[in-house]
Amino acid sequence: MLAGLSPGADNRPEAVARRLIRSGVKQVVMTLGENGALIVTDKSSIRVPAVCMSAVDTTGAGDAFNAGLAIALACGASLEEAVPFAAVTGGLASPRRASSLRCQPR
């Protein structure tokens, strides 16, 4: 909605972020659930992988991601350093079954 697009439309995350950049936003961090996160600036686009786990309940994972991002940035991390930290923070907030972990090769 911030990019002026219909929430029900099938929009690629990077295209939405680029639209925000063109509107004056300097950088965009977008969470993509099990697909990790995306950092977009006017010069780059970086995908950050998700934490490898089988989540039972993801309630609060986005809030934990935001908290991890804020803490890392407040401690002086660059955006490229802070987002992976935030991804781990969000992943740790999701209860999981250790016996059913599924990892994708990197």
Q: Specify the pLDDT at position 30.
A: 95
Spatial separation of the C-alpha atoms in residues 52 and 3, rounded to whole Å? 30
Instruction: Give the pLDDT of residue 43.
Output: 94
C-beta of residue 37 within 8 angstroms of C-beta of residue 31:
yes
DSSP bridge pairs for 37: 31, 48
What pLDDT sits at residue 106? 46
Q: What is the pLDDT along the chain (106 residues), one digit of tens a residue?
A: 777 777 777 689 999 999 999 999 999 999 998 889 999 999 999 999 988 777 777 888 899 999 999 999 999 999 999 999 999 998 888 766 544 455 554 4
Active site residue 63: yes
